[in-house]
Structure 1
Amino acid sequence: MPLQVGYKYFPFKEISLEPKAFSPSIKNLRIIQLSDLHLSKNVKLDYLKSLVEKINSKNPDLVVFTGDIIQIPAKNLKKHFEIFRAIEAPSYYVTGNHDIFYGPKVLKELLSKNDVICLDNEITTIEINNSFIQLVGISDRYSFARGIKRGVKKLFSELNKELFTILLAHQPKDIYYIEDENRIDIQLSGHTHGGQVYPFNYVVKFFQPYFAGLYTHNKTLLYVTNGLGYWGVGIRYKVPSEIPVITIN
């Protein structure tokens, strides 16, 4: 399908990842990644309800939102966020540049009420299938515009090197913060939209060396999704949207 218009697709895409070092007990861990939704009043509630139903039918162990959730102030999307409460798996998010622009504080308040937890500049450890997994998130690179200090180096120094670790970061370039002494097995990012509209994707690729798909950076696997939504015009051309369904093999 070369042309996509509007929010009416559920483009789940199966992705298999094989980190270089991980506990066998997390084998078959399933993660659904939602990125770049760019929610506005144009996104119908029925679409989101169907999306959540389809997510639950995939039986993920974890759902993560990797930024740019909103395209208008969060206070205008309360009913949209309420639908996320029906997600059955533990759900976490980090902000993207659009979330920073439209106001991360209200976004955090409203999402937390609906069981989607903010991981901006935070570390949490969760138990899934009798294994402990470390999640770390960093707020968007434009956080300084809101007076938010990311403190990435200090945050990474507090990671437990013995635990399988997943980093959520909206912009793929944040992988350059990962140093050899950090234990980060996987980074999940979005932001690029894969260019969204051909041939504009070639321009985006010039500025984003980690552009779309799977990469290896030192010991870390990086997956950059095309994302689900739209920025600017509500079309995609030869750059399909996607909802990664990631399985650890």
Structure 2
Amino acid sequence: MSLQVGWNYFPFKEVNIKNQSFFESFCGLRIIQLSDLHLTKKVNVDYLKTLVKKINEQKPDIIVFTGDIIQTKALRVKEQIEVFKSLEAKAYFVTGNHDIVYGVKELQAAMNESNIICLDNEIVKLQIKDFELQLIGLSDRYSFLRKIKRPIKELFSKLDPNLPTILLAHQPKDIEHIGSHRVDVQLSGHTHGGQIYPFSLFVKLFQPYFSGLYLYKKTVLYVSNGVGYWGLNIRYKAQSEITVLTIN
């Protein structure tokens, strides 16, 4: 399907990630990644309820939101965000550039009420099945516009090098901050895969990590096309996705 119009799709995309440091202990770990929802009042609540139902049916181990959740003030889409309270797996999020514009504190409060934990510049250790891993999150690259500091060096220095590590960062370019630290997988969005061809060709000029899987040194990077829309509610040759990632 080349053309998508509006909020009518549930495009689950299965992605297998092979990473040697994960391979033995985390084979079968399932992560659902939601990115670039760009929620407005126009996004139908019933659509989101069906989305959550279908996500729960996938039985993920964890759910992550990789930024640009809102395209308006969080209070205006509180009803939409409240739907995510029905997610059955643990859920985490980091902010994107549009979230920075529309208000981080309000978004954090709304997401917290739906039991979705903010990982902006935070690290959390998780026990999944019989194994432990750590999630690290970065606030968006444009956080400085709201005088939000990103203590990148200090944050990465706190990572446990003996634990498998997943980095959540809205913009793929943040992979450049990893340095020598152990980050097995980075999950990002931001690009929308260009959203509308041939505009996507222009996006590629500025986004070296455009869509899909990449390998940066020892880190596997996955860039999601995202669920929603920016500007026109149209996608052409850049299908939206709800990513189901499996470590194997």
Whether TM-score is above 0.5 comes out as yes
SS, match of residue 15 in structure 2: strand
> Hey, what does 1:214 align to over in structure 2?
213
Q: What is the alpha-carbon distance in structure 1 between the residues aligned to residue 20 and residue 243 of structure 2?
A: 20
Q: What is the alpha-carbon distance in structure 1 between the residues aligned to residue 81 and residue 130 of structure 2?
A: 30
1:59-208 aligned within 5 A: 59-180=59-180, 182-208=181-207
Extract structure 1 runs of 4+ deviating beyond 6 A.
Answer: none
User: Unaligned 5+ residue runs, structure 1?
Assistant: none
Q: What is the alpha-carbon distance in structure 2 between the residues aligned to residue 22 and residue 197 of structure 1?
A: 35
Does the 8 Å CA contact 1:31/1:62 hold for their aligned counterparts?
A: yes
SS, match of residue 85 in structure 1: helix
Q: Deviations over 1:97-150 (max 9, x none)?
A: 000000000100111111000000000001111211100000000000111000
SS, match of residue 42 in structure 1: coil
Q: What is the alpha-carbon distance in structure 2 between the residues aligned to residue 55 and residue 124 of structure 1?
A: 23
Q: Deviations over 1:28-65 (max 9, x none)?
A: 00000000000001100000000000000000000000
Q: What is the alpha-carbon distance in structure 2 between the residues aligned to residue 160 and residue 23 of structure 1?
A: 18
> Hey, what does 2:37 align to over in structure 1?
37
Q: Deviations over 1:54-87 (max 9, x none)?
A: 0000000000000000000001111111110100
Q: Which residue type is aligned with residue 232 of structure 2?
A: V
Q: Which residue type is aligned with residue 227 of structure 1?
A: G
User: Unaligned 5+ residue runs, structure 2?
Assistant: none
> Hey, what does 1:5 align to over in structure 2?
5
Q: Deviations over 1:139-182 (max 9, x none)?
A: 000000111000111100110000000000000000000112x0
Q: What is the alpha-carbon distance in structure 1 between the residues aligned to residue 192 and residue 82 of structure 2?
A: 25
Q: Which residue type is aligned with residue 78 of structure 2?
A: K
Identity percentage of aligned residues: 60
SS, match of residue 22 in structure 1: helix
> Hey, what does 1:25 align to over in structure 2?
25
Q: What is the alpha-carbon distance in structure 1 between the residues aligned to residue 204 and residue 85 of structure 2?
A: 35
> Hey, what does 1:54 align to over in structure 2?
54
TM-score by length of 1: 0.98
Q: Which residue type is aligned with residue 107 of structure 1?
A: L
Q: What is the alpha-carbon distance in structure 1 between the residues aligned to residue 112 and residue 24 of structure 2?
A: 32
Does the 8 Å CA contact 1:23/1:164 hold for their aligned counterparts?
A: no
Q: What is the alpha-carbon distance in structure 2 between the residues aligned to residue 108 and residue 5 of structure 1?
A: 29
Q: Please report how far the alpha carbon of residue 89 of structure 1 lies from its aligned counterpart in structure 2 after TM superposition.
A: 0.4
> Hey, what does 1:237 align to over in structure 2?
236
Q: Deviations over 1:188-245 (max 9, x none)?
A: 0000000000011110001000110100000000000100100000000111001110
Q: Which residue type is aligned with residue 73 of structure 1?
A: K
Q: Please report how far the alpha carbon of residue 23 of structure 1 lies from its aligned counterpart in structure 2 after TM superposition.
A: 5.8
